[in-house]
Chains A and B, each alone.
Chain A
Amino acid sequence: MAYARCASFKRIFLISTVVALGGCASTQGPADPADPWENMNRGVYAFNDGLDRGLFRPVAELYAFVTPRPLRTCIRNAYLNIGEIWSAVNSALQQRHFDAINTVGRFMFNTTMGLGGCIDVASMNGQPRIANDFGITLGVWGLPQGPYLVLPIIGSSSVRDGAGDVVNLAGNQLDTIGMIRNVPLRNSIWGLEFVVRREALLTVSKTVDSTALDPYSFIRDAYLQRREAQVLGEADAQALPDYEDYEDVQADEKALGIAAEKSP
């Protein structure tokens, strides 16, 4: 399948990281083919989780506690609005020209009528945000996802998205907020952005904590699935997951006269 295609790509990365991974032993149970570096990833995940619980999450909770909700929404929208330019660039790079035009329209509308992006008037007028980034662009260009990768602090990623993030950093941060000459101001804006982004995910992490059997694989599977769908885009939204239904398999076997001897 898709993995045959990306075998050579994977090999390059395997060679380059084999030294770092040298000490990692095999995982318990059959490994997920999308996550060959699970042991290392789980290590980084545990590190991130500790850092999050000890520092990022309390700071985000404090921010949520002292800031009224409308103000939080406003600040969050303003950050998202700055990111629209980069989203539009990527939509254009992916030949999704309608998305690019709509996103530019959103940016102009929200920056002016929405008071610097604070109020998402475009969404209220029926043009929701089309988030896009360079990892998706690489995917649209045909680069496979590659192995799942958990990066320190950033969290869920993959080889492709990690490479995309380097470009995202340049396009979405260094060319926007990074242009601010006043260093303390620039760093404060970046620091606030981090807190704002974390705060937006507080309810999600609470849900994951209380319902996931294994938060690590819950987040991984959700991440990979979502990225895959973003690469496919709206046009291919009909490409639905094909679950094997073992009731149908059993019915077929019965019809064919093959007894399901495996069942207890």
Chain B
Amino acid sequence: MSSVFQLSAQRWFKMHRSAWLGTWLIIALAAAFGCQAATAAPNPQDPPPVFVQAVADELLTVLKADPAVRNQDLARINEIVQANVMPYVNFEKTTRLSAGKYWRDATPEQRAALVEAFRLTLVRTYTGALSKIDNGTSMEVLTFRGDENAKDVVVRSSVVQGTNVQPIRIDYRLEKTPEGWRIYDINVENIWLIQNYRGQFSQEINRSGIDGLIAALNKRNTQ
């Protein structure tokens, strides 16, 4: 009985091959679009680990697709950072905390200039690392240990850079804002960004004021 059924099934398949191909195509396309929808724009209202993973995935996808990144094209990397990083970052806070007590003495114009100068410095800092991103690069968020109801949390992650290379530990510090989560500090291999710039900032401000610090950052940015 079963052999008869198989035979008829085979004949049915042969007869309707084109129809089957069409169905498969539709399923495949749906799956592809479905996946795309699943990795769509990061949502700052999501739990922090989900949000950070989405930001990283989106950024890596853009970076991998862009040959200009591998050539360390600063202008293009800057564009990508503006489009794919800055919306999820409270960079004003990063700068404010780096400036420490000197922030309150700065005028609104000085603050804005400092934020921009610092942002460009960091773009240049990470340009070398970003240019090494290839198809073997991925970031995996590690088990979340914090309290998701807290207003200030840390998301830990491990970045794999190809085979046979030690993964890099990168942690993100986020704060809850009315618009959702925003990253404001980053830790690479046990070194927090803000903490590492506070000393240099205060040193430079002590020597030549806030304008001096802005000038020093911009001088390096235009080199």
Q: A264: which B residues are within 8 A, CB to CB?
A: 105, 107
A95 is an interface residue with CB less than 8 A from chain B: no
B203–A262 CB distance below 8 A: no
A263–B195 CB distance below 8 A: no
> Known contacts A249-B104, A264-B105; is A238 also within 8 Å of B145 by CB?
yes
Interface pick from B48-56, B59-67, B164-172: B164-172
B203–A29 CB distance below 8 A: yes
> Known contacts A213-B216, A246-B96; is A32 also within 8 Å of B199 by CB?
yes
B87 is an interface residue with CB less than 8 A from chain A: no
Q: How far is the CA of A100 from the CA of B166 in the complex (A)?
A: 18
A217–B199 CB distance below 8 A: yes
Q: How far is the CA of A203 from the CA of B220 in the complex (A)?
A: 18
Residues 198 to 222 of chain B near chain A (Cβ within 8 Å) = 198-201, 203-204, 206-207, 213, 216-217, 220
Max chain B C-beta neighbours (<10 A), residue from A206, A221, A243: A243
In whole Å, how far is A250's beta carbon from the nearest beta carbon of chain B? 6
B81 is an interface residue with CB less than 8 A from chain A: no
B138 is an interface residue with CB less than 8 A from chain A: no
A124–B164 CB distance below 8 A: yes
Max chain B C-beta neighbours (<10 A), residue from A70, A238, A246: A246
A77–B100 CB distance below 8 A: no
Q: How far is the CA of A222 from the CA of B199 in the complex (A)?
A: 10
How many residues on the B side are at the interface (Cβ–Cβ under 8 A)?
Answer: 50
Q: How far is the CA of A28 from the CA of B207 in the complex (A)?
A: 8
Residues 217 to 260 of chain A near chain B (Cβ within 8 Å) = 217-218, 220-222, 225-226, 229-230, 237-238, 240-241, 243-247, 249-250, 260
> Known contacts A30-B206, A123-B166; is A222 also within 8 Å of B196 by CB?
yes
Q: Which residues of B contact A (CB under 8 A)?
A: 93, 96-97, 99-101, 103-105, 107, 121, 124-125, 128-129, 145-146, 152, 154, 156, 158, 163-167, 169, 171, 173, 185, 189-192, 194-196, 198-201, 203-204, 206-207, 213, 216-217, 220, 223
Jot down 26 A-B pairs with beta carbons below 8 A, ordered by A.
Answer: A29-B206, A30-B206, A32-B199, A74-B164, A123-B167, A128-B158, A128-B166, A210-B124, A213-B220, A217-B199, A217-B203, A221-B195, A225-B190, A225-B191, A225-B192, A225-B195, A229-B190, A238-B146, A240-B152, A243-B100, A244-B100, A246-B96, A246-B100, A246-B104, A247-B96, A262-B105
Q: Which residues of A contact B (CB under 8 A)?
A: 28-30, 32, 70, 73-74, 77, 119-120, 123-124, 128-129, 203, 206-207, 210-214, 217-218, 220-222, 225-226, 229-230, 237-238, 240-241, 243-247, 249-250, 260, 262-264
Would you list the 4 A-B pairs with minimal beta carbon distance, nearest first?
A229-B190, A243-B97, A29-B206, A226-B190
Q: A119-B164, A128-B169, A212-B200 are in contact. List 7 more A-B contacts (CB 8 A).
A: A73-B165, A203-B129, A207-B125, A207-B128, A221-B195, A243-B198, A246-B101
